[in-house]
Every structure is written in structure tokens, then in C-alpha cells.
């Protein structure tokens, strides 16, 4: 039991460190590019270079992650990301991030490596949640909520720290710290998580007889890949979740990678303000996540999920479209963070309940790739629209689209399937489904 509890703690700690570094580089990279070239489109290209491989690996890598030891996948991908981000930091520190041509091409290539590594590592670590949490009898809502809560705390700490470091030193120093965070994440997984927990049939699938999983699996990588997407296509609720997320994630990426840094650069010219707003949003998200992690097992799922999306999305865009000072932006960031923080406890529980344990890497990978499919285009869309209609016009337009998208869970009947069914119960010890 002690080892099982330490495994869940190690998973949370490792992912939290990596997420803290990622949240820092998400601010440092656009600031670095905007300071060097002044081009919103260049900032969008860097975001595109990182997120396209991230999405492709999530789409295509699920069957491989299902076959391999998930713990080792997490360790290896963190090491690769640490090396690539470290190289980007060395380039930024040595050149000052001022060379466009070859220097920008190098940065794009390194970010592609980071994105691909993060994509595989994200799938592997997420699949470990029910396996690491099951021996300590942690309900799925709370396990997912704690996992997301650590991510929110990481964002809360990473954003302000990035702003401080950029103001005191440089964006390159922030990238170096991100590289170190990936290395620390790999070390924690290697030392803190028992080796057997990453293998199929352990903890998460105690009832699986030896040889059963292999017998039930399709015989080829392609068949396993198709199986994940077919499962996703047949589950109307999971597919609806994916469609909602593909729209909102595209808009979120445009906001985070281009529009908000550009607003801060043009209105305030302050990396400290940028980090502070990200930190305030993170503080609200931590509070919202903590509240919902505690309450989620006792509440219906759909309404808190829908309200969280409604509050956490469109207001962030609309306040930047009409505000010229920092105060209103900070207030909206806090409230929006609380809404966004309440989304994932219910969402994670729904995903784990509806997908058999042996299929989780490929199905959740397929869902993740669908949900993240718009992200590579988000930075490009934000940069292109800001150049075409101006910053405030693009913020208003994206905010209106976000509002329409987040009305879907209130309107369409398929979202009622989020609620717990009377004939099916969540097996809190296994993270799988059992029939009464």
C-alpha cells in the first residue's frame, strides 16, 4: 500500500513539474519571438511547430503506448524533451533570440521534438492515473481532479515565475528552467514509481487473466489504431466532448500563444503583467479544481462541467477586446480560472468510465488527438487574424465563437450521458466499469 501511494504521489509530482516548466515556456517562447521579430505570425509558427507533432503523436501513438511500459515511456519522453528544450535555451541565450532565418528554423525544429515527446508522455502518464490511484481506493473523480489540480498549481506557479525571470534575466533562462523541469520529472518517475505499475495487467486490471489481453488485442498496429478511433466514433458522448474541445482548444491556443502576449506587449509592454495574469488565472483554477475535486462525487456532472466552460472561456477574450487597463483583466482571469478549474474532475471520470482499461491509451490518445487537433492551427489563426483585422477585432470574434461552442452542453441531449447510470457503477478500486 505504501508503494502504491508513493506511485500516485510520484505521478502527480512528475507531471506537475513538467507542466510548470511547460507553462513557463508557453509565455517565454512568444515573448522571445515577439521581441526579436515583432511578428505575431512568427509567434504563431513556433506554437504550430510544437503542437502539430504533439497532436499527431497522440493520434498515432496510442497503440504503441498500450504495448509498452507506460512508466518507461513517461521517463524516456521527458528525457528527450529536456534535451531539446535545453538546446533551444542554449540558442536563445547565445544569440539573444534575435536571428530570424536559420535561427528561427532551428527553434521550430527543436519545438517539434519537444511537442512530439510531450504528446507521447501525456498519453502514458494519463493512462497511469487509474492504475496508480486504484490501490489506495481513490474515486476516479478525485484522482482525475487531483491530477488536474496539480497541473493548475503548476500553471499558478509557472506563469508568475516566467514573468519574473523574463523581467530579471531573459526568455532563454526560462527555457533552461523548463528543460530542467523535464529532467526532474523523468527522475521522479524513475525513482518514485514501482516498475510493475507501468505494465499492463497490474493494479488497473487485477481481474485480467494471463494471456487474455494479448488474445483480445488486434494483431497489428494499424488494427489497434483503428480500434481506438472506431470506439471513439461510436461513443456519441466522447465524440461530442472531442468536438467541443477541438474548438475551444484552438481558441485557447490562439489566446495563449499570440493574442494575450500581443495585448500585453502592445498595451503594457510588461512580461511581469503577462506572468501575473497567468498566475491569477492559475490561482482561480486551483480553487475551482479543489472545490470540484471535493464535491464532484456528490454532484451531477453535466451542469458543473457546462457552467465551468461557459465562465472559463469567452470572458477572457472579451475583456481583452474592450479593456485598456490591467485591473479588469485580472478580475476576469480569476473568475474564469475558477470556472475552468472545475471542468476536469467530471471530464476525467467520464473518460475512464466509458473506456475499457485495455483500450485506454489508444482511445484516450484518439480523443486527445481530436481534442487537440485545432491547437496547431490556433497560433496560426491568432496571428493571421490579428494581422488582418487587428488585435481587438480578433479577440472579439474569437470570444463570440467560444461563447457559441460552450452553449452546446446546455442544448444537445447527448450531454446528459455524462451523468452516472443507475445500472452501472464506477469500480473505484480498479478504475474500470462493472455491471450490477
- Given a cut of 70, is residue 3 above it in pLDDT? no
Average pLDDT over residues 176-202: 80
pLDDT for 419: 82
> Once rounded to an integer, what is the mean pLDDT over residues 393-418?
93
Give pLDDT, residue 358. 75
Q: What is the mean pLDDT of residues 414-433?
A: 56
What is the model's pLDDT at position 392?
Answer: 94
Taking 90 as the threshold, does the pLDDT of residue 135 lie above it?
Answer: no
- pLDDT for 376: 83
Q: Is the pLDDT of residue 181 over 90?
A: yes
**pLDDT per residue over 306-330, tens digit each?**
999 999 999 999 999 999 889 999 9
Q: Which of 102-116, 190-204, 404-418 has the lowest mean pLDDT?
A: 190-204
Percent above pLDDT 90 for the chain: 28
What is the average pLDDT across 164-192?
Answer: 90
The mean pLDDT value for 219-232 works out to 78
Q: Which three cell numbers stand for residue 348?
A: 476525467
262 has a pLDDT exceeding 50: yes
* SS3 letters across 263-277: HHHHHHCCHHHHHHH
pLDDT at position 48 over 60: yes
pLDDT, position 210: 38
**C-alpha dist (Å) from residue 118 to 84, 121, 148, 297, 401:** 11, 5, 16, 30, 28
- What pLDDT, on a 0 to 100 scale, did the predictor assign at position 396? 96
Q: Contact at 8 Å (CB) between 313 and 402?
A: yes
Q: What is the mean pLDDT of the chain?
A: 81
pLDDT at 334: 94
Contact 381, 89 (CB under 8 A): no
Write down the CATH superfamily of domain 2-202+221-418.
Answer: MFS general substrate transporter like domains (1.20.1250.20)
pLDDT band at 333; cut points 50, 70, 90: very high
Residue 187 is predicted with a pLDDT of 94
Which pLDDT score is estimated for 158? 83
Decide which of 9 and 224 is more confident: 9
Query: Quick one: pLDDT at residue 318?
Result: 96
Which pTM was predicted? Answer: 0.69
Instruction: Flag whether pLDDT at 85 surpasses 90.
Output: yes
pLDDT band at residue 57 under the 50/70/90 scheme: confident
C-alpha closest to that of 307 among 275, 336, 267: 336
Residue range 25-44: mean pLDDT, rounded: 84
| 101-133 vs 2-37: helix crossing angle, rounded to 10 | 160
Give residue 407's pLDDT: 95
What is the average pLDDT across 131-159? 75
* DSSP characters over 172-229: HHHHHHHHHHHHHHHHHHHHHS-GGGGSTTSSS-TTPPTTHHHHHS-SSHHHHHHHHH
Give me the pLDDT at residue 199, please.
Answer: 59
Question: Tens digit of pLDDT for each residue in 204-223?
Answer: 343 334 344 444 554 566 77
Confidence of residue 137 (pLDDT cuts 50, 70, 90): low
At residue 219, the pLDDT reads 56
Q: What is the mean pLDDT of residues 282-308?
A: 83
For 313-359, where are the alpha helices, taking DSSP H only?
314-322, 326-341, 344-354
Q: What is the pLDDT of residue 424?
A: 40
Angle (CA) 230 246 322, round 5°: 170
Given a cut of 80, is residue 183 above it in pLDDT?
yes
Amino acid at each position: 500500500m505504501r508503494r502504491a501511494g508513493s506511485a500516485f504521489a510520484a505521478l502527480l509530482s512528475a507531471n506537475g513539474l513538467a507542466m510548470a516548466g511547460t507553462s513557463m515556456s508557453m509565455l517565454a517562447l512568444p515573448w522571445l519571438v515577439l521581441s526579436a521579430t515583432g511578428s505575431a505570425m512568427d509567434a504563431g509558427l513556433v506554437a504550430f511547430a510544437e503542437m502539430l507533432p504533439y497532436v499527431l503523436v497522440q493520434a498515432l501513438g496510442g497503440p504503441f503506448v498500450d504495448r509498452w511500459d507506460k512508466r518507461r515511456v513517461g521517463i524516456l519522453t521527458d528525457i528527450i524533451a529536456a534535451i531539446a528544450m535545453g538546446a533551444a535555451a542554449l540558442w536563445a541565450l547565445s544569440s539573444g533570440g534575435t536571428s530570424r532565418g536559420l535561427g528561427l528554423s532551428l527553434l521550430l525544429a527543436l519545438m517539434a521534438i519537444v511537442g512530439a515527446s510531450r504528446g507521447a508522455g501525456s498519453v502514458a502518464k494519463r493512462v497511469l492515473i487509474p492504475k496508480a490511484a486504484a490501490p489506495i481506493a481513490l474515486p476516479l473523480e478525485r484522482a482525475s481532479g487531483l491530477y488536474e489540480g496539480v497541473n493548475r498549481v503548476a500553471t499558478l506557479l509557472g506563469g508568475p515565475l516566467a514573468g519574473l525571470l523574463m523581467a530579471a534575466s531573459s526568455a532563454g533562462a526560462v527555457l533552461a528552467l523548463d528543460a530542467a523541469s523535464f529532467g526532474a520529472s523523468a527522475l521522479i518517475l524513475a525513482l518514485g514509481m514501482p516498475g510493475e505499475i507501468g505494465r499492463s495487467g497490474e493494479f488497473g486490471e487485477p481481474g485480467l487473466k494471463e494471456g487474455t489481453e494479448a488474445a483480445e488485442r488486434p494483431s497489428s498496429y494499424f488494427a489497434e489504431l483503428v480500434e481506438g478511433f472506431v470506439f471513439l466514433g461510436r461513443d456519441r458522448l466522447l465524440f461530442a466532448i472531442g468536438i467541443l474541445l477541438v474548438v475551444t482548444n484552438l481558441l485557447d491556443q490562439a489566446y495563449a500563444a499570440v493574442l494575450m502576449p500581443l495585448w500585453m506587449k502592445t498595451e503594457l509592454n510588461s512580461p511581469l503583467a503577462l506572468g501575473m495574469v497567468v498566475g491569477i488565472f492559475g490561482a482561480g483554477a486551483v480553487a475551482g479544481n479543489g472545490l470540484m475535486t471535493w464535491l464532484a462525487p456528490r454532484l451531477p456532472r453535466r451542469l458543473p462541467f457546462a457552467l465551468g466552460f461557459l465562465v472559463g472561456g469567452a470572458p477572457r477574450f472579451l475583456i481583452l477586446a474592450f479593456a485598456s487597463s490591467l485591473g479588469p483583466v485580472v478580475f476576469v482571469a480569476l473568475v474564469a480560472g475558477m470556472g475552468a478549474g472545475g471542468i476536469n474532475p467530471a471530464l476525467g471520470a467520464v473518460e475512464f468510465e466509458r473506456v475499457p482499461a485495455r483500450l485506454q491509451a489508444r482511445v484516450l490518445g484518439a480523443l486527445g488527438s481530436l481534442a487537440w487537433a485545432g491547437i496547431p492551427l490556433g497560433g496560426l489563426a491568432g496571428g493571421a487574424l490579428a494581422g488582418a483585422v487587428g488585435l481587438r477585432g480578433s479577440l472579439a470574434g474569437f470570444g463570440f465563437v467560444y461563447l457559441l461552442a460552450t452553449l452546446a452542453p446546455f442544448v444537445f441531449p447527448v450531454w446528459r450521458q455524462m451523468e452516472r447510470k443507475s445500472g452501472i457503477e464506477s469500480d473505484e478500486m480498479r478504475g474500470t466499469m462493472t455491471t450490477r
